[in-house]
């Protein structure tokens, strides 16, 4: 319904940070109601499992997400930029794997400020 507004906010970093700061103060029921209004019925996302294999045992990088309740940690990643088309349908220029890889690289760079090399993709 109002998903265009959510997409507009996501594409403007200052507006996105400001709206997240305000969002954290919403009561959980209001936040849930607004989330249903601002999102589509389904979403496709990508998460990265980033391993530090130089230590023994290997460690997994977790991030504290700003949109979850305080203290909630998870894998870095997010939703695919789909525009008006189905994100599962590849465009003529890119394969579906290219779409997922570019979205994953973008999300990790936005959250952590690092460029990553994707070793392997797995699907659900």
Q: At what angle do helices 3-10 and 28-38 cross, to 10 degrees?
A: 100
Indicate the Cα dihedral angle 114, 117, 120, 124, nearest 10°. 30
Domain boundaries, the chain: 1-41, 43-124
pTM, full prediction: 0.52
At 47-73, the pLDDT tens digits run 889 998 899 999 999 988 776 677 688
Q: How confident is the model at residue 90 (pLDDT cuts 50, 70, 90)?
A: very low
């Amino acid at each position: 319904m109002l998903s265009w507004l959510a997409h507009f906010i996501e594409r403007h970093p200052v507006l996105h940070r400001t709206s997240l700061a305000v969002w954290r103060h919403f009561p959980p029921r209001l936040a849930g109601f607004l989330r249903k209004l601002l999102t589509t019925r389904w979403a496709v996302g990508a998460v990265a499992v980033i391993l530090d294999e130089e230590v023994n045992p290997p460690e997994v990088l977790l991030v504290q997400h700003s949109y979850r309740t305080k203290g909630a940690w998870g894998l870095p990643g997010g939703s695919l930029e789909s525009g008006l088309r189905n994100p599962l349908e590849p465009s003529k220029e890119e394969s579906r794997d290219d779409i997922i890889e570019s979205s994953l690289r973008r999300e990790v760079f936005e959250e952590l400020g690092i460029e990553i090399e994707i070793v392997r993709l797995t699907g659900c």
